[in-house]
A and B are shown apart, each in its own frame.
Chain A
């Protein structure tokens, strides 16, 4: 037990916390009288400085080797550090997006809350302990509730936040209840220790107490990753939140929650998977465990998410349902062989988060200037902001999974991992077929959005000027998507290398 070394390992988060304090205090003390726009920019730069410093700290920690503090409450390894960097990038892009126009006049609190949420995400990806997972999920959720409700004088924002909170609170109670059963069944809190208990006791994987615990925990995680039937908050929260916040919820929170879920299932309770295979010719084979639950959630999410997205008239709601569908695709890879499935999930979640963030960036940049975030408002925007619509095309095609872009390879790896499960018995073929069919359906609504952007008769108005603080991050995202699309093996090799050094 060495507090000095612990402080060293935590330095990145400490920097983020310090940045949040500086912002909270500086905004109240020094810049009270300034104009809101100027304050917003100044605070955004403070936030970016904090994020940059933290990123430098993490980069240095890469070289230092692995560490495991107190029962997995803090696990430092290249993979976790890599995801912390990803989260910092996502947060930084969100900050850039909110730079042009302040979300509300409480500028300091806004950036401090974003930093708190980022700290929650960083702890979520770096811990392998049930208590830490619960605490960091709650830190993340509470910050996000406040962020969604930030424009509370607007009715939509208040209502979206209330719905987000109501679902979140119930699922937090489920999570806590589930964790209590897992603790009771295995008598330990750290994921590796939980995995150990399976070795000593062959009956453990069938223990009803453990299985109920896992089921309830999955309800809690299901809310965070927004899979059907726990997705009901997502469209309302995304529509109610300011566009940069919606992008943050849809990307950052997703990345952190998926990493934690993957670790929980594959590192902690993998032996309790059970099975939900259907072998040829149609003989279903179900054994109790988390696999049937995940398979069912993946199946309904893919079907319902895609079908509901078709009927949406609001772009943010459409993106919300598309994110529900994408959560379903990602769950398919959980059945893959351990290393391969993990790699595919990590690859896709990064690609997906960046793409989605870019799409929300386009909404941020345009919504106020075209008079709303309904899809019809964007009619013929191509003439008014040609550069931005090209970016939107890249994001939409990547989400749909068109070959030269990153989204295609992400989906390919996910579905390949789903197929490789089960010792080449192809038991999860039914899920993969559903996924492929449903991503074909998704082409329809992504192309529909592009059709409105490009083909529909133009709305009036001159060219729209986009703040460089929004244009450049989006361009960078689009470039990354292109590059990953050209050299998918580069990112794949990275992730595999990190996984080997865990």
Chain B
């Protein structure tokens, strides 16, 4: 019990640090993977990291009754969802041509 009590409480810096880490993992996924669906998942994680930032900034705000941070996060979630839907529709459209979802296949346009 003593050990548990000594654990430092999370700070704004910690939340932001984890947010940034999470964003970095998402970005690494976008850059490293060939599968378009995984790339989309990476983008979703990046968006989510931004939402975490908004909430952290809001929570540690001098004036939390102005819920602008929460507001922005709501819009962030909504728009990320809409974007995922459009992205997946495009994946289907592309799949009909290439019979696959890997980005290296998509090399018709060049120059």
Contact = CB atoms under 8 A, between A and B. Distances in A.
A161 interface: yes
B75 interface: yes
* Interface residues of chain B: helix, strand, loop or mixed (majority): helix
Contacts of B111: 235, 311-314, 317
Contacts of A340: none
A146 interface: yes
Contacts of B97: 155, 158-159
Contacts of B109: 156, 159-160, 163, 235-236, 239-240
Interface in B65-111: 68-69, 71-72, 75-76, 79, 82-83, 86-87, 90-91, 93-94, 96-97, 103, 106, 108-109, 111
A392 B54 CA distance: 49
A312 B23 CA distance: 36
Nearest to B39: A166
Contacts of B63: 187
B47 A134 contact: no
Contact of B57 (A146, A176, A183): A183
A308 to B, nearest CB: 8
A179 interface: yes
B65 to A, nearest CB: 13
A152 B91 CA distance: 11
A169 interface: yes
A149 B63 CA distance: 45
B86 A155 contact: no
Nearest to B103: A166
A183 B76 CA distance: 14
A142 B30 contact: no
A179 B72 contact: yes
Interface in B31-87: 36, 39-40, 43, 46-47, 49-51, 53-54, 56-57, 61-63, 68-69, 71-72, 75-76, 79, 82-83, 86-87
B87 A169 contact: yes
A242 interface: no
A81 interface: no
B50 A173 contact: yes
Nearest to A320: B111
A170 B46 contact: yes
Contacts of A312: 111
A170 B79 CA distance: 13
A172 B16 CA distance: 19
A177 B91 CA distance: 25
A258 B68 CA distance: 26
Given A159-B97, A162-B94, A173-B43, A180 B57 contact: yes
A284 interface: no
Contacts of A135: 75, 79
The 4 closest A-B pairs by CB, nearest first: A173-B46, A184-B57, A180-B53, A176-B50
Given A142-B82, A165-B86, A180-B53, 15 more contacts: A135-B79, A138-B82, A145-B86, A158-B90, A158-B94, A160-B109, A163-B106, A166-B103, A169-B87, A176-B47, A176-B50, A176-B51, A180-B50, A181-B53, A183-B57
22 contacts: A130-B72, A131-B68, A131-B75, A134-B75, A135-B79, A138-B79, A145-B86, A149-B93, A156-B109, A158-B90, A158-B93, A162-B36, A162-B106, A169-B87, A173-B50, A176-B50, A179-B50, A183-B54, A187-B63, A235-B109, A313-B111, A314-B111
Interface of A: 130-131, 134-135, 138, 142, 145-146, 149, 152, 155-156, 158-163, 165-166, 169-170, 172-174, 176-177, 179-181, 183-184, 187-189, 235-236, 239-240, 311-314, 317
